[in-house]
Amino acid sequence: MYLLTEKTNLPKITILSPVLDPEIETFGNKLPAHTIHLKLEKDATDDWYHLQMKKPAQWTAPPCTGLCLKWSDYQLMVEQTYRLCKALVDDDDMMHRLRESKFELVYSEGLDTCGPVGLSPFSDELSFIERLINFNLHIFFEIYKKWLDGRFWRMFNEKEPGIPAIRDILYEKTALIMTNVHEFAETTRPRTNMIRYIGGSTIYDPQPLNKELSNVLNERPTTVLFCMGTIVYSKDMPEWMKNVFIETFALFPNMTFLWKYEDPDDVIFKNIPNVHPVEWIPQTDLLGKRLVLANLFALLK
């Protein structure tokens, strides 16, 4: 995502939003901005459904620790980002519009369409063995990233001959790094003045809930939100796993369970009065209410 601030009396923001996952239709920004969604053709987006982590079998996969993302999935995502980046670079009209926006500032995510990165499976607290593994992963991804940067650079150089290397541009042009974590929740580490913690800055004030959700929250003294994210779908769980959760929730008749579930009409919820399947939930608005005990997904992690 790029944020371009134009040179006018009042700052104007243009958001370039590349879309990798074709199933994501919501967009988080609520502030005034001109948003440009960049999408691939349908034939290209269909490759996204080949990801192993998007398939129902993910629910029955054996427990995994460390680096759980399959290399085939990572390569497919890299290929998708390359296609998106190439679609942007080859779109002369789009590039002209961005150049003519007369921007003063450009904000780019670390995991960017035109610059994918490697991810570590570990936290800041590592054992000796984990440090060795992490070091090896770092070396591997540095080599892989160098090859990847060369591939992207060749694409850029075809359009703009003589363009500097990607890392040279980053090192020379980066003036500010914003990290989306809260400073008091971060592990102590040396940092420069160009790093700023902005965790929580995008959370807007909770808005009133609609009548339907308000009625659900008023049914019982406590409400629990059960959300498994968007990578894999709750509806794709094996029936036995769904039943385990439902039977467990039924043991707490004085609690209401809101389950983010992609098929709210599923008959499995019939005759379970304290479980409400909801296809989409305004989590900020909901969790801003004191009646909501917790996000059960966070408790399960």
Considering the chain, what percentage of its residues have pLDDT values greater than 90? Answer: 19
Other Cβ atoms closer than 10 A to 154: 9
Instruction: Describe the crossing of helices 166-173 and 128-159 by its angle, rounded to 10 degrees.
Output: 100
Tell me phi and psi for residue 24, to 5 degrees.
-85, 115
pLDDT digits (tens, 9 = 90+) for 103-136: 777 878 776 767 666 677 777 788 898 889 888 8
Q: Would you identify the CATH topology of the domain 211-295?
A: Rossmann fold (3.40.50)
pLDDT at residue 3, as a whole number:
47
Tell me phi and psi for residue 188, to 5 degrees.
-60, 130
Tell me phi and psi for residue 294, to 5 degrees.
-170, 165
In contact, 7 and 103? CB cutoff 8 Å: yes
Tell me phi and psi for residue 70, to 5 degrees.
-65, 145
In contact, 236 and 202? CB cutoff 8 Å: no
Amino acid at 13: I
pLDDT digits (tens, 9 = 90+) for 271-300: 899 999 998 888 888 877 655 555 554 444
Between 101 and 93, residue with greater pLDDT: 93
pLDDT digits (tens, 9 = 90+) for 62-87: 777 666 778 888 888 888 889 888 98
Q: Domain limits of the chain?
A: 211-295
pLDDT digits (tens, 9 = 90+) for 195-215: 888 888 777 788 888 899 889
